[in-house]
Structure 1
Amino acid sequence: MATGILSVGLHLIGHDVLSAILLALACVLWVTLAVAFAVRFAVDRPGWQAASANPPALMAVAATGVLGTRFSLAGRQSLALALLALAFAAWPWLLVSVLRHWKRPAPGSAFLVCVSTESLAVLAGTLALAGCGDWLASAALAAGCLGLLLYAEALARFDFRQVLHGLGDHWVAAGALAISALAASKLTASPLWSGSAHQALRIACLVLLALDFAWYVVLAGAEFVRPRLGYDLRRWSTVFPLGMTAVATLSTSQAAKVHRLHGLGSVLLWIALAAWLLVAAGWLAATARRNPPA
């Protein structure tokens, strides 16, 4: 998810070579995790079912949606449609499984119920803009509205102490609003709606982005007040919201015709890329410590 959304962002600001490198890496990671997912399903069905009841399982849907969006932007519409079908096939089963086992208070990963749903809206909206059918824009609107309802439910369950004590996934509270704003920007850019409907979508897009910025400032400030140094796997769930906020800002700038946002989105994207490099370095160091050379 984090690598894929950075690839999308770099494509939007014209750094296509670096975007392609990250896209290739995202594809390798996606295939590796898909194989691991399938192998566990085959050899450890109880463990697979237990894992599917937790919100992180929905990352499979979100990652597939992000990857499909990048391929659509690259003109690979058939592949993007196939990834949309795959994500949509997995989404209801995983979503129901997670909702049935939700607990209070919930960590930041609970917001993945929104992220996964909005990822379908973003991909469907991107494909609609690429000329793959107006019905996809209507489907994106439905998924986007459902995603916001799920966000409200996740927020009601969220353990706000995670803002100061979370180890990374608490940032998904912001990332879920960012991907919601991105979905709204795709709908705003669609020619399917005009007049008051278009204006309502534009306002929704700007409001969602403003709420995302508010979360971003609060969470960034909390990191300074209570630094959480050292690598943790959940830090990848920090990189994704940083990248998604940047992409949502860039997309909103174009769709809502607020061109001043483009420069801000570019700055936020480079911040997200720096965070990606730091977390990747932490992951490599942690891997080296677990597997020292013989």
Structure 2
Amino acid sequence: MATGIISVGTHLTGYETVSQLLLALAGIVWLVLAADFVSRRLWNHQRWQSEANTPGALTAVAATTVLGTRLSLLGWHVAATTLLAVAAVVWPVLLVMVMRHWNRRMPGAVFLVCVSTEGLAVLAATLAHAGVGDWPAVAALVCFFLGLLLYPVAFAHFDRAEIWRGSGDQWVMTGALAISTLAGSKLAAWPHWTGIPHTVLRAATVVLLAMNLLSYVILVVAELIRIRPGYSVRRWATVFPLGMTAVAALSTGTTLHVAWLGTLGRALLFVAGAVWVLVVAELVATRRPARPESSPA
């Protein structure tokens, strides 16, 4: 998810070589994780089911839609449509399993119910803009509003103390708003919707972007007040919202013809890229074997 959205952002800002390298990396990781997902489903069902009951399972859907979106932007619409179909089949199964096991004090991953749903909207809207047909636009609209309904439900189950003590996935709170903004901006740019629907979508996109940026600032302040050093796998859940916020600003700026949003999006993309590099460096450092202590002479 994190690498895929940075690839989308670098594509939108003209860094095509970097974007395609990140896409290749994201594709390799997706294939490895997809193979692991299927193998556990077939040969280790008990473990698969226990993991599928947690919100993190919905990253399978979200990551698939992000990868599909980037492939569509590359012109690989058949592959992107296939990934949309795969995500659409897996999404309701995992969504029901996850929501059946919610409690009242959930980590930031709880917002993945919104992220995965809006991911379907983004990919479908991207395919509609690519000329695949009108049906993806309708499907995107349905997923967009369903994702908006799921956000407050997720927020009601979110442990707000995670904003100050979370180890990374608290950022999904703003990532869900960012991907909703991106979906809204793509739907608002659909040329076949005019009049009231167009006005409503534009207004919803503006409100969502404002909420996205506000929550972004709140989480940055929380990170500065209570610094949480060291590597955690949940920090990848920080990179994704950073990158998604940048892409949301870029897309909204293009749709609404607001130049300063493009400038903001580029700046936020630089931040997201820097954090991606930092998390990769910390990951490598944790995997590096410790040097053996030399014995005293």
SS at match of 1:182: helix
5 Å-filtered alignment, 1:111-190, equals 111-190=111-190
Q: Following TM superposition, by how much is the alpha carbon of 1:42 offset from its aligned partner in structure 2, in angstroms?
A: 2.4
Q: How far apart, in 1, do the equivalents of 2:192 and 2:241 lie? A: 29
- The structure with the largest alpha-carbon Rg is 2
Any idea what the Cα deviations from partners look like across 1:130-183, whole Å, max 9, x if unmatched? 111111111101001000111110001111101110000000000000000000
Alignment coverage as a number of residue pairs: 292
Which has the larger displacement, 39-48 or 19-28? 39-48
Q: How far apart, in 1, do the equivalents of 2:260 and 2:18 lie? A: 24
**Contact 1:107–1:162 at 8 Å: present in 2 too?**
yes
Q: How far apart, in 2, do the equivalents of 1:288 and 1:157 lie? A: 38
Q: Following TM superposition, by how much is the alpha carbon of 1:88 offset from its aligned partner in structure 2, in angstroms?
A: 0.4
Q: Following TM superposition, by how much is the alpha carbon of 1:43 offset from its aligned partner in structure 2, in angstroms?
A: 2.3
TM-score normalised per structure 1? 0.97
Q: How far apart, in 1, do the equivalents of 2:101 and 2:18 lie? A: 40
User: What residue in structure 1 maps to residue 295 of structure 2?
Assistant: none
Q: Following TM superposition, by how much is the alpha carbon of 1:289 offset from its aligned partner in structure 2, in angstroms?
A: 4.2
**Contact 1:4–1:70 at 8 Å: present in 2 too?**
yes
Percent sequence identity over matched residues? 55
5 Å-filtered alignment, 1:1-294, equals 1-289=1-289
Any idea what the Cα deviations from partners look like across 1:163-216, whole Å, max 9, x if unmatched? 110000000000000000000011011012112211111111111011000000
Runs of 4+ in 1 over 2 A off after TM superposition: 289-292
Q: Following TM superposition, by how much is the alpha carbon of 1:291 offset from its aligned partner in structure 2, in angstroms?
A: 11
Q: Following TM superposition, by how much is the alpha carbon of 1:259 offset from its aligned partner in structure 2, in angstroms?
A: 1.9
Q: How far apart, in 2, do the equivalents of 1:289 and 1:256 lie? A: 51
SS at match of 1:183: helix
Q: Following TM superposition, by how much is the alpha carbon of 1:288 offset from its aligned partner in structure 2, in angstroms?
A: 1.8
Q: Which amino acid aligns with 1:170?
A: Q
Any idea what the Cα deviations from partners look like across 1:260-293, whole Å, max 9, x if unmatched? 100000000010000000001111111224899x
Over 3 Å counting, the alpha-carbon distance change for 1:258 and 1:38 in structure 2 is same
**Contact 1:140–1:187 at 8 Å: present in 2 too?**
yes
Over 3 Å counting, the alpha-carbon distance change for 1:48 and 1:264 in structure 2 is same
Q: Which amino acid aligns with 1:239?
A: V
Q: Which amino acid aligns with 2:281?
A: A
**Contact 1:137–1:192 at 8 Å: present in 2 too?**
no
Q: Which amino acid aligns with 2:58?
A: L
Q: Which amino acid aligns with 2:201?
A: L
Q: Which amino acid aligns with 1:191?
A: P
**Contact 1:111–1:154 at 8 Å: present in 2 too?**
yes
Q: How far apart, in 1, do the equivalents of 2:290 and 2:201 lie? A: 49
Q: How far apart, in 1, do the equivalents of 2:17 and 2:175 lie? A: 26
SS at match of 2:128: helix
Q: How far apart, in 1, do the equivalents of 2:187 and 2:207 lie? A: 14
Q: How far apart, in 1, do the equivalents of 2:142 and 2:53 lie? A: 24
TM-score normalised per structure 2? 0.97
Q: Which amino acid aligns with 1:2?
A: A
Over 3 Å counting, the alpha-carbon distance change for 1:204 and 1:283 in structure 2 is same
Over 3 Å counting, the alpha-carbon distance change for 1:49 and 1:12 in structure 2 is same
Can you give the 5+ residue segments of structure 2 that lack an aligned partner in the other structure?
293-297
Q: How far apart, in 2, do the equivalents of 1:41 and 1:29 lie? A: 18
Q: How far apart, in 2, do the equivalents of 1:32 and 1:158 lie? A: 30
SS at match of 2:95: helix
Can you give the 5+ residue segments of structure 1 that lack an aligned partner in the other structure?
none
Which has the larger displacement, 15-24 or 280-289? 280-289
Q: Following TM superposition, by how much is the alpha carbon of 1:101 offset from its aligned partner in structure 2, in angstroms?
A: 0.6
